[in-house]
Structures are given as structure tokens and as C-alpha cells.
Structure 1
């Protein structure tokens, strides 16, 4: 897996975003799992969690709005880093700032009954989008992670459950593969499972367990030779022609790829002028498919388009393969507890989803350990979905906060069951092993 330095060689990379959200929620029958949920596990623990989250709600609302009002793009989440770590310290967590050498990553942990029990991981995302702020609701994801971790802490102490909760502040979901970098650095080592959530467009008080597309990026650079475009164009080798040939070739390739596959890219250049044959052009591409294996197969076909364009234009070609986001693999055993807590325990509607249309670096976490990433609906206007200014406004609404608190409770209930229920965790682990 490539590090963020590979992408930062292009000045344009910091504005090149990919959608990370779950697709639009559609109401229907709840997702089916291998095991039927008969009754809510330990309702008294859920009651403890409810009281803890309700008691925190006003503080979490204030925290969410602070982050919403100070949007920071990937790897620049300094205000969020400082604000969230101070909050976790105030609530009795052991905090590590600038975790594993990443300036805006952080870790907050709490252990009850040291030396015993499992470790449940939780994620808080923080980054915003250039120009439109928190249009993917990461301010809500941040406080959902905070609330989940603190509620688990409260329940561990009250019910004398041994275990550890670790909350990671994960930078750069929007194009920087922050979680992938943290995995490589050992940030997820020792976790028995990991959980988080994500807002999207959907019916009121609804949640859903869907998947996402696997994704990889490609940086392309063509090098030709400058010449006067009128006086001696035959002396030039046109790098812009190479980029256009490649773009057209990929566009024609799309007719022959599956409906579930996606290829999309942009062309960049510096100091181009109409009377100069361009000697440099750059492109950035994303390739997505339902599985990583399909992404690799499609990437091989796309690379041939780039190579053919280089030959046709007599330009030199440089290709750098970027980060990998694997498809999201929801752990079905974690999922069935979440559905039980959200539906039976909290009265939320459980949705179903269609084909995946987006990607997230949390997919890499689901390959590393058993993990869960439910989506949930917040109210917004028509055509006001994720990555729009309307969604930025929606992410600051009181309605969005309320449903975030409900999902937080269901996540905390699921997380603490990992720590307390040996049979449950064995099923979680066995399911994860079987999916590998």
C-alpha cells in the first residue's frame, strides 16, 4: 500500500477528493444474517449506555459544531486534533497526540481491570472537503466515536466488565488513506474488533449496513518536447495530445466494462499556452469495483490505454500506482447485534441498500480485523447528498445530531458485547476468519 507521499508529488492532489459516503438509504426488510437475533443482549447494559450518551449529548453537540465551524482538509485537522484530544483527557482517557508520527492522528484509551479482557477499537474521522466544509458529516463521525468510547467506559466500570476501549482519531479519509497508513504503522494492532459509523441521505431515524466499492488511484505523467505551435510544431512532442488520447481511450473502454465498475479521472497542466506545444501533462484516475480483485483486472486494461497513448504521441510515460481502499466487509455477527440494539432497543428503522457506489479507507480496517461501519440517514434537501453544500448545512442540524446519538448508543452496545461475551466474540472472530 502506498503512503501519502506518492500522491503529494502533484500540487493538485490536495483538492482531488473521492466520495466516501454510503449510498442513499432505501427502506425495506432488514439485512439478513447467518444468525437470527431473538432478544436484545443485556438490556441493562444498553440502559447504562443510553443514560451515558444522553448525559453527554449537549457536550457532544457543542463539540460537533466546533469542528463543523472549523473545517480542515486531509492531514490538516489540527484544530480537530487539539479539541478532541482535550475532550478525551477531560473524560479520563489516556491520550497520545500526534500518534505514530502522524501530525493529526491521535489515540485515546481506557482500561478497566488491567491485564484482562479484549480491546474494542472505535474510529473518529475529522477531515472536511475543500471549499464546502463538512459536506460528508465527519463532524458527526467524530463525536459519534467520542460518545461511543465514553459510553463503553461508563458501562465497563458500572458493570465491572474487564476490557479496553481505544478511540483513534483518523485523519485524511477524504483522499489520503489515513486508516491505511495507520494500519501499516501498527495503529490497529491488538484490536479484537473495530467500529464506526457514517451519515448519508436517508429516511428519518434510519440506519443501514451496506458495503462500498474497492478503489485504487493512478497518477500519470506524460513528457514530450516543447516547440512553437505555429513556427515549428513538427519539432514538438505534444504531452497534452497524449493525455487526450488516454482520456478518450478510457472513455471508449467504459462501454466494455461492467455496470458496477467505475473509472474517472482529470487532466492537469502548468503554464500551458496556446502557442506552445505542451511538454508536460498529468492525470489522476480512480478505479473502483465491488472487489479488489475486480479493481486489479480493470486497472490492467486502463494501463494499456495510457501506454498506447504514449506510443501514439511519442511521449514518455510515468505511472505511479496509488493507495488501495478495499471494499467494506461488514462483520455479520457484529451487524446482527447492532441491528438488534438499533431496532429493538432504540426504535430505529433498519434499511437496505442497493449497489455500492462509494469507497472508504475503513474497508482496509475490515480486512485487518472484524469491523462494523453502519450508515445512517440525516435529513437534507433533494439533490443535497454527501459532498454538496446542502449536506454541510444538514450535518450541523439538531436532527442530524439526534440520530447520531442513537447510532452511537447501538455502536457502544455492540462494542461492549465484544468485551463481555466470550461466545459472541468467538462467532465474530470465526466469521471474520471465514471471510478471509
Structure 2
């Protein structure tokens, strides 16, 4: 029975190859940024609806989220699809490949959900690139009843284990007072100076921060005209640490640097969280071992070292993993020297190697979930841990 289903899922995945690649390339050609993924969301949901899934749009009240579900079995397995792009860089993180992998895995398993005794869900999750769509879905009860969740993320090389930083995303705004920069400089309150002071303070603070900490950001509004004292400046800043607990203390220290800019210049400071903090990842070891075995059967080889550091990137899937058994392996698209968040990586995300990653990832993920369903020990273990229970 297991062998027959294994072969059947492989055949279904093979039949879905054209669908998988068409989806990946279509999303890549029409990139949409966080919370604006209207076309992308509809495109992925439409593929799943055409494959027999019942689709709920505007899932948990989010206009670019969806839930696609098939089957009524007692073991509830889920895959997550991401489809947001980066501002100005398109799919430079390869989320088109993620959506294609998750959709392909679901389509390959769809004919066999009753044989496997599972409920199969695909979560369309917006705004991973700063916005935390999965966190919103999680906290609104969208993952209730799910026993395990999985997804596969592209990178330069294959890496099995996700070890992301916890991260906070903040919008920084200084408000001062405009004045003519030559005639009346003494009547202005310079918001650009406030940002300069804060950035210098952060640069000095880095000397005293643990080696695993990251603090980085950009100014998105630095003023309007060179002959006017800047009245308002704005920026977006990320603070990353090993855990949410470490992040909380670190964020306070960084915020004091921003406060220093306000105190020194007389500007008013406003710090606004752009999303809830992303958590560190908790890997389900059994599911990950299964994925590694299945991926290696397809000829994938896992890497370590400097080229494999994409596994340290923060993800809102970390928050899901704190509640539900989860995995988030990385699949290589042979992009080196290009790496994630470079325009060259966006170009590589529809290369022949990326297409192979999309089809390999879909099959490896489908077979991993198949194994979880048919292995009695894994099935019982997952069903004993409902979403929200202590783990």
C-alpha cells in the first residue's frame, strides 16, 4: 500500500510539472509587494481551486490571504505558500518558487487524501517580507487544528535546517520644523540631523552587541529640498537576535539610540512596529529527517558553510513553528555568486535550476507529508500535538 501510494504521488507530481513551472514563471513576471499581492493570491488560489480544493478567500480577514482545503481525515497537514516580492527587486527572494512548490506538493497529494486519512490545507500567506502575514493568520486562529505545517524556501544551495533570527520591524519617524536653510537656519529643527545622530549611535553600539546580533535599516524619506531644513525624516529598521527573549532587551538599547537623535535635535520621535516580532524557528526533527531523505533520493545534496547562510534569514514561519510541528528547509537554485535579495537572484529564480528546484521541492515535500501520514509513530505523535498545545 505504501509503495503504491509512493509511486502514485510521484506520477501525480510528474503530471503537474507544467502547472508548477507555469505558476512559478507567472508569479515572477508579475511581482507584488507585501499586502498588495492581489493578483498573486488569486493566481495561486485559482490553481488550487482548479485542482479540486475548496478555497476560502480573504482568509481571517486578510485580503491577500487564502485557505485551500481538501479531505476530511483526522490528521491535518498543511503547506504554506508565500508570494510577495521585494520593493524594487521583484522576486529576489524566490517566493514565486515557494508558491509553486507548495501548490505542486498539494496537487500531487490531492487524489490520495482519502487513502491517507488526512485533511490537506494550503495556506496562502501574504507579507512575509516584513508584515508577518503568518503571524496574523496564526493569532486570528487560522491554524487551529493543524497538526503539522511545512514549506520549502529557495536559496543558493540546499540547506536542511532553518535557524532564523528573531526580528522586529520598526518604522522610525522624526518630526522637526522646516525653515530656509540659508536665511533662517536657526528657526528650523532638523529631522535629518536626528537620523544622523541615531545612526552614529547605532554604529557605536554595534561594538558592544553580541556577535550574533544584526541591526540594519534604511532612510525612506530624508527631506524634500536642499535649501529647506528637513521637517520630517522616516526610515525602516530591523533588529535581529537569536531568540525573542534576547530581542526584547536588544530592541530597547537600539531604541535609545533613536531617542538620542530626538533629544539632541529637539525633534519628536515616533517608533511604530510594522508587524509583530518574528520568532526563532523550532524544527520538528522527525519531519526534517524525512524531508532530507526524500530530497536526497531525488539527487539533492545539502550544503554547509558560507554559501548556506540563507537559513539564518528571519521568517514569520518561526512563529508558526512555536505552536505547530514544522519544517522550513532550503532548496538550491544554483545561483552563486548571486544570493537572496540581489537582482541577480531574481533573474536566477526562473532559471532551469530554479525550475528543477520547484519540481524537486514539490515532490520532496509531498513525499514527506505522505510519509508522515503512513508512518504510524509519526502520525500518532503529530495528532497528539494540536495547535496551541504545549510542546
What is the TM-score normalised by the length of structure 1? Answer: 0.82
Which of residues 372, 379, 384 in structure 2 aligns to 1:418? 372
Which of residues 350, 361, 374 in structure 1 aligns to 2:329? 374
Summarize the alignment of residues 53-64 of structure 1 with structure 2, pairs less than 5 Å apart: 53-64=13-24
Structure 1 moving runs of 4+ over 6 Å:
430-435
Residue of structure 2 equivalent to 1:153: 110
Summarize the alignment of residues 365-404 of structure 1 with structure 2, pairs less than 5 Å apart: 365-382=320-337, 384-404=338-358
Residue of structure 2 equivalent to 1:110: 70
1:93 is displaced (CA, Å) by 1.1
Q: Is the aligned partner of 1:47 residue 2:7? A: yes
Taking the aligned partners of 1:238 and 1:284, their CA distance within structure 2 comes to: 19
Taking the aligned partners of 1:102 and 1:358, their CA distance within structure 2 comes to: 24
Which of residues 252, 266, 272 in structure 1 aligns to 2:204? 252
Residue of structure 2 equivalent to 1:73: 33
Residue of structure 2 equivalent to 1:335: 288
SS in 2 for 1:325: coil
2:324·2:386 contact (CA, 8 Å) conserved in 1?
Answer: no
Summarize the alignment of residues 300-379 of structure 1 with structure 2, pairs less than 5 Å apart: 300-323=252-275, 324-343=277-296, 345-352=297-304, 357-379=312-334
Which of residues 117, 127, 130 in structure 1 aligns to 2:87? 130
1:285 is displaced (CA, Å) by 1.0
Question: Structure 1 unaligned runs (5+)?
Answer: 1-40
Q: Is the aligned partner of 1:141 residue 2:98? A: yes
Residue of structure 2 equivalent to 1:182: 137
1:109 is displaced (CA, Å) by 0.7
SS in 2 for 1:368: coil
1:218 is displaced (CA, Å) by 1.9
Q: Is the aligned partner of 1:292 residue 2:292? A: no
* 1:59 to 1:227, Cα distance in 2 relative to 1, 3 A: closer
2:156·2:336 contact (CA, 8 Å) conserved in 1?
Answer: no
Residue of structure 2 equivalent to 1:199: 154
1:431 is displaced (CA, Å) by 12
2:162·2:327 contact (CA, 8 Å) conserved in 1?
Answer: no
Taking the aligned partners of 1:322 and 1:90, their CA distance within structure 2 comes to: 35
Taking the aligned partners of 2:35 and 2:258, their CA distance within structure 1 comes to: 30
Q: Is the aligned partner of 1:224 residue 2:184? A: no
Question: Structure 2 unaligned runs (5+)?
Answer: none
| CA shift digits 1:142-196 (9 cap, x unpaired) | 1111111122222334xx2212000111112122211112112222111111011
| CA shift digits 1:330-358 (9 cap, x unpaired) | 21111111122222x43322334666542
Taking the aligned partners of 2:295 and 2:4, their CA distance within structure 1 comes to: 15
1:402 is displaced (CA, Å) by 1.7
1:107·1:169 contact (CA, 8 Å) conserved in 2?
Answer: yes
1:228 is displaced (CA, Å) by 3.2
| CA shift digits 1:259-309 (9 cap, x unpaired) | 211101222436533333223222321001121122112111111112222
| CA shift digits 1:405-435 (9 cap, x unpaired) | 2222221122233334342134456799999
* 1:182 to 1:80, Cα distance in 2 relative to 1, 3 A: same
SS in 1 for 2:289: helix
Taking the aligned partners of 2:180 and 2:360, their CA distance within structure 1 comes to: 64
1:137 is displaced (CA, Å) by 1.4
Taking the aligned partners of 1:96 and 1:146, their CA distance within structure 2 comes to: 15
Residue of structure 2 equivalent to 1:97: 57
RMSD: 2.5
Taking the aligned partners of 2:231 and 2:343, their CA distance within structure 1 comes to: 37
2:105·2:363 contact (CA, 8 Å) conserved in 1?
Answer: yes
SS in 2 for 1:284: strand
1:120·1:164 contact (CA, 8 Å) conserved in 2?
Answer: yes
What is the aligned residue count?
A: 386
* 1:426 to 1:268, Cα distance in 2 relative to 1, 3 A: same
SS in 1 for 2:212: coil
* 1:304 to 1:155, Cα distance in 2 relative to 1, 3 A: same
